[in-house]
Amino acid sequence: MLHSLPLHRFNESIVLPAADIERIQAMGEPPMRLARHAVLRREGEPPRFIYLLIEGWVASSVLLPGGDRQITKFHLPGDLLGTPSMCLERTADTLTALTPASVSRVSLASFGELFQRSPSFAAAMLLSIQRERVALMDRLAAVGRTPALARVSALLLDLAERLGALSGGTIDEFELPVTQEQIGDHLGLTAVHVNRVFRQLVDTGLIRRNRQRVTLLDRQRLRSVSARQEREPAKDVSWLVGGQAGA
Amino acid sequence: MLHSLPLHRFNESIVLPAADIERIQAMGEPPMRLARHAVLRREGEPPRFIYLLIEGWVASSVLLPGGDRQITKFHLPGDLLGTPSMCLERTADTLTALTPASVSRVSLASFGELFQRSPSFAAAMLLSIQRERVALMDRLAAVGRTPALARVSALLLDLAERLGALSGGTIDEFELPVTQEQIGDHLGLTAVHVNRVFRQLVDTGLIRRNRQRVTLLDRQRLRSVSARQEREPAKDVSWLVGGQAGA
DNA sequence: CGTCATCTTGACCCAGTTCAATATAGGTGG
DNA sequence: CCACCTATATTGAACTGGGTCAAGATGACG
């Protein structure tokens, strides 16, 4: 029983019936604990499982032939991990715990069964994956077209927003349990340069920082330097779920 | 009746029953013709339709506040366009014809109906979107971590592969009906630099080029400089479609 | 209390950008 | 069929954001 699984990600545009919520919680195996740096799944393996992240942060990353790494997503509790690779013979992304974490493994078989059994779950999945796709498009635009300062600012705003959604409030101070090298791998920058950008953000009064705790001091200015588009989730998805009105 | 719609994208891992194929073809409105540069849908509009691309090339792009543009995908015939925005209140991507094109509009309502009615269609959609997501992850890695030469090479190989899948053969010479500026917007480069990279590819004998026709002369070397991962589509997706064996 | 990972900062370098000037090629109106 | 016009391609010269290299500093942890 995963009574501790945050469910906000499953109810973003569609409110799932209680029966579905139960089935989601039932499809996962008993949670397992991961130490920091533990590899949950390595790329190249045949995909047989996906994972519900219950607690902690996990990075999903892709390796380039040259040995460089691209972190495709910093996952927070409530996220469903490793799903992109379900369409491949061999897994594309490596899942690594950034902090001690707790995850529940889900076999593709149980996922598939729920997807087939519950139309509302299938619909919620469809929309959720499209949201991830839009996020990827936005980050691609940032990495391809914006300077380092904008990328780091955008990341901080994005994390604050997601942590807020997770806790159900607004957050402007949070723990960033992530190495500057990992931030670089996420944004297409060097650890050294990430460090310089942080310095700049502090020096210009946009954020405060001690150790890994970050405080957003001037959201307004941060937003304007970040060149980030606000994306509002669809409110009315009745075209997809038939009977149901919007959330 | 869209007897001319290429269906290869709908049968990549899952072989859809004939009834589904018919329903797909029936869900689209009569094709409309687009002139080069015509905008099919602009970002910011409420999403009400998606589009089946029957003929021609269409770009999907995202705008940054600064006015820069990121082309998220060069779409080829058979692609389903504009779907990422179905999860949003306001469309994220602009769809622009790169060549004269023919598309069939599909209301979200008919898409949703088919998605609900046909489990195999829903499954095929899920996998297809995940494939797009993996492609975005790979391009993000390329833009974030590889030099210009690798990015351009990767694009050429990717297009050759997709055009091959479309025509059902192997292709190493094709028309590239795309401006160098557009290539730049796709790869996070300047038009000027794209030009220089093309020169370099020609000078080192990797490709030939006259006007917009490109010939891949040395696939092997091209592949090694491209730093591109080959991604093999899943063969067995019976976990998702119950009865059905792999393609 | 030593060791390894991470962070910081400086000095220098380079891939790719910017700016600018020319070339080409279709496409258009007459 | 021609003269013109606009979009695109090409190339050179100079510049810069971010990378690379290297040398400490600072912690966290066993």
In this predicted structure, the answer to whether residue A247 has a pLDDT above a threshold of 70 is no
pLDDT value at residue B247: 43
**DSSP secondary-structure letter at B18?**
H
Across the range A9-25, mean pLDDT stands at 89
In this predicted structure, the answer to whether residue A9 has a pLDDT above a threshold of 80 is yes
Chain A residues 174 to 213 whose Cβ lies within 7 Å of strand D are: 184, 188-190, 192-193, 211
In this predicted structure, the answer to whether residue B1 has a pLDDT above a threshold of 60 is no
- Chain C: nucleotides below 7 Å from protein CB are 5-11, 15-20, 26
Ranking A90-99, B10-19, B174-183, B203-212 by mean pLDDT, the lowest is: B10-19
Distance from CA of A18 to the nearest CA of B (A): 19
0.85 exceeded by pTM: yes
Confirm if B127 and A87 have CB atoms less than 8 A apart.
Answer: yes
In this predicted structure, the answer to whether residue A164 has a pLDDT above a threshold of 60 is yes
Closest nt to residue A193, judged CA to C1': D18
**Interface-testing mutation among A145, A153, A186, A236, with chain B (most B C-beta atoms within 10 A):** A145
Question: No. of H helices and E strands in chain A?
Answer: 8, 11
pLDDT band at residue A245, thresholds of 50, 70 and 90?
very low
How long is chain B?
247
A–B interface: beta-carbon pairs under 8 A: 208
In this predicted structure, the answer to whether residue B246 has a pLDDT above a threshold of 70 is no
Selecting from B62, B89, B115 the residue whose C-beta is nearest the C-beta of A233 gives: B89
pLDDT digits (tens, 9 = 90+) for A171-218: 999 999 999 999 999 999 999 999 999 999 999 999 999 889 999 999
Output the average pLDDT for chain A.
93
Q: Which residues contact B83 (CB under 8 A, 6 or more apart)?
A: A130, B50, B129
Within the 198-237 window of chain B, which residues sit less than 8 Å (CB to CB) from chain A? 227-229, 231-235
pLDDT value at residue A2: 45
Task: Give how far Cα A237 sits from Cα of B31, B45, B55, B132, Å.
Answer: 26, 16, 30, 22
Q: Is A135 on the interface with B (CB under 8 A)?
A: no
Q: Is A66 helix (H, G, I), strand (E, B) or coil?
A: coil
Closest nt to residue A188, judged CA to C1': D18
Across the range A32-52, mean pLDDT stands at 95
In this predicted structure, the answer to whether residue A246 has a pLDDT above a threshold of 80 is no
Q: In the structure, how far is the CA atom of residue A177 from the C1' atom of nucleotide D20, in angstroms?
A: 26
pLDDT value at residue B243: 61
**DSSP secondary-structure letter at B246?**
P
**A148 beta carbon < 7 A from strand D?**
yes
Confirm if A113 and A122 have CB atoms less than 8 A apart.
Answer: no
Opening angle at CA A53, ends B232 and A198, nearest 5: 90
Q: Is B35 on the interface with A (CB under 8 A)?
A: no
pLDDT value at residue B149: 97
Cβ of B130 and A64 within 8 Å? no
Write phi, then psi, for A179 (nearest 5 degrees). Answer: -70, 150
Output the average pLDDT for chain B.
93
Q: In the structure, how far is the CA atom of residue A171 from the C1' atom of nucleotide C30, in angstroms?
A: 67
Nearest to B183 by CA among A94, A144, A11: A144
pLDDT band at residue A5, thresholds of 50, 70 and 90?
confident
What is d(CA B139, CA A47) in angstroms, rounded to the nearest whole number? 21
Selecting from B115, B139, B145 the residue whose C-beta is nearest the C-beta of A140 gives: B139
Across the range B9-30, mean pLDDT stands at 89
**B4 beta carbon < 7 A from strand D?**
no
pLDDT digits (tens, 9 = 90+) for B214-239: 999 999 999 999 999 999 999 999 99
Distance from CA of A143 to the nearest CA of B (A): 6
What is d(CA B49, CA B107) in angstroms, rounded to the nearest whole number? 4
pLDDT digits (tens, 9 = 90+) for B39-68: 999 999 999 999 999 999 999 999 999 889
Q: Is B44 on the interface with A (CB under 8 A)?
A: no
Across the range A71-76, mean pLDDT stands at 98
Cβ of B125 and A126 within 8 Å? yes
pLDDT digits (tens, 9 = 90+) for B61-97: 999 998 899 999 999 999 999 999 999 999 999 999 9
